[in-house]
Structure 1
Amino acid sequence: MNKKFLIALFAGLAFSACEKGITGNAGLNELSLKKSDLVAEVMVPGVSLKADGPGGTYNLINSVLGGNACEVPDCVHAQDHIAEIFDSSLNTNVFVFSAHVSQDNDRCQNFDRQRTEIKTYNASPDHLKATNGETVTYRWKFKLDAGFQASSSFTHLHQIKAVDGDDSIPLITLCARYGASNTDKMELIHVNSSGTTTKVKLANLSLFRGNWVEVVEKITFGSNGKYDISVKKISDGTVLLAYNNTNMDLWRTGASFCRPKWGIYRSLNNAVRLRDEEVRFADFCIAEGTAACQ
C-alpha cells in the first residue's frame, strides 16, 4: 500500500474523530477500545482435513495429521481402503472408508476384527494432541449407507483415546450396534478411569442411515472434565443425538495426551450379519482452545 495514502488515511481518521468531538485522552481511549474490540473478534482457525479429489489420499491425510496416520488392512487386501470421490449431496469431494467382510482384518495383527481408521498420534503435531486441562473442539461429517449393517459386538465410527499409561480402552466412543427386531442403535459410550462403561446416550440407527450428519464435539480433558456433543442431520438441521456433561472423567492415569480416531472399526463376531461396507466422511477439523472450526 502507498505510504502517502496511509498518511492521508490516518490524517482523515484523526480529522473525522476531531469533527465528532473525540478529543484528548478520552477520545484516544475510545479509539483504542474500538481497535481492541476488532482484534478480539479475529478467530484463529482450527486444523482442517478436506478431501481434494481422487488420488493421493493417504498422503493428503498424513500431510495434515502427521506421520502415518492411516490404520488400514492393505497388508492383507492390496487396495486403498480410504479413497476420495465427489459426493452430489454435499456437492464436494469426500472420503470413503471401506471394510470388506471376507478380505480385511486389523492391520495383519488381529483377525477377529477389521479396522480402517485415521488418527492423531505420537508423530502428529503438538497442536493436534489434547493435554490435561486443554479444551478441544472436533468437527466432522459422515454418512452411513441406507443399507448399513452394524455388528452385534461393535462398529466404532469415532473414538477418543489416551496415549501412554492406561490407554487400551477409549474414553469416548460413537458406536453403531445391531439390535434384534429392528432395534439397531447409535451409542455414545463413556468409560471412566476405573473401567466403568456407560452408554450415556442412545439414538435409533435408522435416523442415520442414508443421511449426511455433522458432528460437533467439544471436550475439556481432565479427571473432572467437560463434554458436549451434537449430531445434526445436514439436510434439515434435525438433532439426532445430543449430550452434555460438565463433570466427566476424561483422562487416564499416565497418559501423555488424548487423541481422536475416525473410521470403521468393527468386530467379526456374527460376520453373517455384516456386509462389505463404505462409510463416507468429510470436513474433519480439530481446534484447540479458542481456535474455531470454520
Structure 2
Amino acid sequence: MKHINLFLMLCVLCIAVYGISACSKEENHKPDTDQSIPAPEPEPDNYTLQGTMQAAEQLVGKNYSEIHKYMRSYGWDYSEHPNSSDKDHNDGIHCEVVYDKIIQQYVFKFIIHANAEILDGDRGKLEDRQRNEMKTQTTAAWYKLNGNWDEWQRLEWKFRIPKDFRPSTNFCHIHQLKAQEGNNGSPLITITPRCNSNGSNRRIQVIHTGDKSATNKGTIIDNLPLSDFEDEWIQVETEMHYTHNGSFSIKMTRISDGKILVNKSFSDIDMWRKGAISIRNKYGIYRSFGRNMDGVDDRPTNGIKDETLQLADFKIYEKNTNPNLESHD
C-alpha cells in the first residue's frame, strides 16, 4: 500500500511540474506588448547628390597649384589667395593638406597672415581686406554645384577653427553664398565670427543680405559663443531655395559630443540676385583690416592675427533642377 501511495504522489508531482513548464513556455511565446514598433523609414526627399570632395593623401606637401588642380577636378577651385599674385605674399603657404586624427581623414588647412612681418592681401591688393578662399566653379560643366533660379540646394561640410580665434568688429567670413553674375556685390548669406572692439563677446553670426535694402534681414543668428566652436570639428548642413521669396535653414552640430549648436529655418527670405545665373558657395577666411592700409609697412589695429581654418567633407545636393541656365531677375 505504501508503494502505491508513493507511486501516486510521484505521478501528481510530475503532472504539476509539466503544467508549470507548459505555462512557462506559453508565457515565453506571448508577444511583448511593451516593445515599441520600429518607426517607418523616412520618405526620400528627392535630392540628388551633385558633387562631393575630400582632401587626399597625395596632396600632402604639395603647393597651392596642385591643390587648385585637384579641386578643379571635383568642380571647386582654389584661386583667391595671396599666392595668386606676385604683388602679394606669393612665396608663403596659405593652404596645405594634413591628416586629422579626430575625423580620421585628410583635410584642407587654410592659413592667413597678419603679423609684424607679413600681412596677406586680397589677390595682390593691400588695401582694406585680405582673402584666402576656395569656391565652386561657374563653368557650364559645374553649374550643378551652384544654386540656380528656383532650385533647392543642400550643402554639407565640416570646419574647425583654432582656440583663441580672434575676429574683430569688422567682417570676417568663413563661408559665403555669393552671386557670380548680376548684382554680385554683397553675399546672400555668410557665417561670420565677430567680437567687440576689446575682443570680448566672441561669437558666431549668420548674416543675410537681400537683393535690395528692403529685403535685407541682416543678422539672422547671433551670439553663438565662439568657445563652443573652438578647436572642435563642426558639421554644417544648410538648405536653400533660390528665389526672391525663398527659404534658408542651417544646422551646426559639434561632432565630439553631438551637441546641436544651432538649428534654425527662415521662410520668405530673399535668396536671389537680380541678373544672376548662379550662386556660388565659398569657404575660407575673408576678413577686413578695419581701415585702408597706408602702405606695405602699415598694420591693422582691429586685433586680427595669424589664423587657420580647417575644412573637410564637402557635399552638394540639389532638387527641382533648373535646366535653363540663363540670367534671371
Q: TM-score, normalised by structure 1?
A: 0.80
What is the distance in 2 between the residues matched to 1:251 and 1:41? 23
* Alignment correspondent of 2:242: 221
Shift of 1:126: 1.9
1:49 to 53, 70, 74: 53
Greater C-alpha Rg? 2
1:120 to 111, 119, 136: 136
Shift of 1:43: 7.6
Is the counterpart of residue 241 in structure 1 residue 262 in structure 2? Answer: yes
* Alignment correspondent of 2:173: 156
Deviations 1:19-38 (A, max 9, x none): xxxxxxxxxxxxxxxxxxxx
Shift of 1:272: 5.5
What is the distance in 1 between the residues matched to 2:219 and 2:128? 24
Shift of 1:45: 3.3
Taking a change above 3 Å as real, the CA distance of residues 110 and 120 of structure 1, as seen in their structure-2 partners, is: farther
* Alignment correspondent of 2:122: 106
What is the distance in 1 between the residues matched to 2:310 and 2:50? 22
What is the distance in 1 between the residues matched to 2:56 and 2:199? 40
What is the distance in 1 between the residues matched to 2:112 and 2:255? 25
Shift of 1:181: 6.1
Deviations 1:66-89 (A, max 9, x none): 5x5431111221134111000111
* Alignment correspondent of 1:193: 211
| Residues paired across the two proteins, number | 252
Shift of 1:197: 4.9
What is the distance in 2 between the residues matched to 1:83 and 1:131? 31
Is the counterpart of residue 59 in structure 1 residue 79 in structure 2? Answer: no
Is the counterpart of residue 263 in structure 1 residue 284 in structure 2? Answer: yes
* Alignment correspondent of 1:207: 228
Is the counterpart of residue 92 in structure 1 residue 113 in structure 2? Answer: no
Greater share of strand: 1
Shift of 1:185: 1.4
SS at match of 1:61: helix
Of the structure 1 ranges 215-224 and 172-181, higher mean CA displacement relative to structure 2 is found in: 172-181
Q: TM-score, normalised by structure 2?
A: 0.72
SS at match of 1:60: helix
Give the 4+ runs in structure 1 shifted more than 3 A.
Answer: 40-46
Deviations 1:26-68 (A, max 9, x none): xxxxxxxxxxxxxx799853411100021332221121125x5
